[in-house]
Amino acid sequence: MATLCQPAVWVPEYVVTLDETLSLCRELHSDHEKLPLVLRLIENTGVRKRHIIRPIEETLRHPGFEIRNRIYQEEARTRIPAVAMQAIASAGLAVQDIDAIVFVSCTGFTMPPLTSMMINEMGFRSDTRQIPIAQLGCAAGGAAINRAHDFCLAYPNANVLIVACEFCSLCYQPTDHDIGSLLSNGLFGDAIAAAVMRGSGGEGVRLERNTSYLVPNTEDWISYEVKATGFHFRLDKRVPTTMAMLAPTLSTLTDQQGWNASDLDFYVVHAGGPRILSDLSHYLGVDEHAFRHSRATLTEYGNIASAVVFDALRRFHDEGVANGARGLIAGFGPGMTAECAVGTWSSYTGSDSGSADSRQHELLTSAN
């Protein structure tokens, strides 16, 4: 049974505090007719600081999409290897033990995908499977976990590296003045996260089952409008109400496992904003303390998109979880989409049986 091991998380050195965000908003949008509302919405996010890949003075200037995307590629190539290596080491593995890489990001574009760079420059085997996912936004963290789980179900002794790279600040658009865009300017942060799904052995969440659900006819609630200047984030005012439509998916998944969604030991949830957590508390019937690590990620880093679930899970590792504890992992994003999984905490740290060569033989045999 596959185990999601301890994640590694990196955030950039440049910090923007809530006070600085509010001050910039007042300065840049002093004539906005709904400025008091925007300021109130930003304060209500609960975000106290965020980390960004470039100094704020540089971030506020738009040099063009070409340069922005070049920065994304350069920073990703520079920063990803150390985070990925830390995650692999935490899983008790080596680079040669990895059979597939799931890479998720919605804040930049490359072709070939950055998985190719990792294989070429980090010593992964040339037959490592590449699974890049580019368009699921904040839900991609949960999707990456689920697709890695699916891979390990197909190839039981495989190990999958997951990497989430989100530089949200590179999507800042100075000419977008709608409320959703101004709110996002005070909500999103930058981060890279990585974790390994071990086909056997390892300490972390031993996954039992996963599911996906898309709310019909909500495609335009969270979206990108792609223009010459890059990705323009669009956020519908109905987004905060989506937990009423997505929470039942979490309950159904836990019911299928024979568990009660209101009575689990840990909850690793994407915190797009405080409303998501308070609504989940209501609909699932759990105390808001259950989402303390998701809220801590939001407070300290902002919404770091697909990396949120990995940072929340990292905090559970730091806190310590009892062997056998039952829990839920959930990511939410465009679509509107939920990507959810349930599992039990495993403290087993024994090494995987068999070498990388034997695993690869099984992979090739199964594929053929």
Q: Which residues are catalytic?
A: 138
Residue reference for tokens 């100094």: 55
Helix (H) or strand (E) holding 54: none
The amino acid that residue 114 corresponds to is L
Name 34's Cβ contacts closer than 8 Å, sequence gap at least 6: 179
- Report the first-to-last Cα separation within the chain, whole angstroms: 23
Q: Helix 308-319 and helix 140-154: axis angle, to 10°?
A: 70
Taking the C-alpha atoms of residue 255 and residue 260, their distance in angstroms, rounded to an integer, is 6
Name 289's Cβ contacts closer than 8 Å, sequence gap at least 6: none
Read out DSSP for 327-368?
A: EEEEEEETEEEEEEEEEEEE---PPPSS-HHHHHHHHHHHH-
Kind of pairing between the strands at 266-269 and 326-333: parallel
The residues with which 198 forms a beta bridge, in sequence order, are 3, 159
Taking the C-alpha atoms of residue 1 and residue 68, their distance in angstroms, rounded to an integer, is 41
Collapsing DSSP to helix, strand or coil, 75 comes out as: helix
Read out DSSP for 284-324?
A: HT--GGGGHHHHHHHHHH-B-GGGHHHHHHHHHHHH---TT
Helices (H), 134-286: 140-154, 179-185, 243-256, 274-284
CA 272 from chain centre, in angstroms, equals 10
Name 331's Cβ contacts closer than 8 Å, sequence gap at least 6: 138, 139, 140, 141, 142, 143, 145, 270, 306, 308, 309, 338, 339, 340
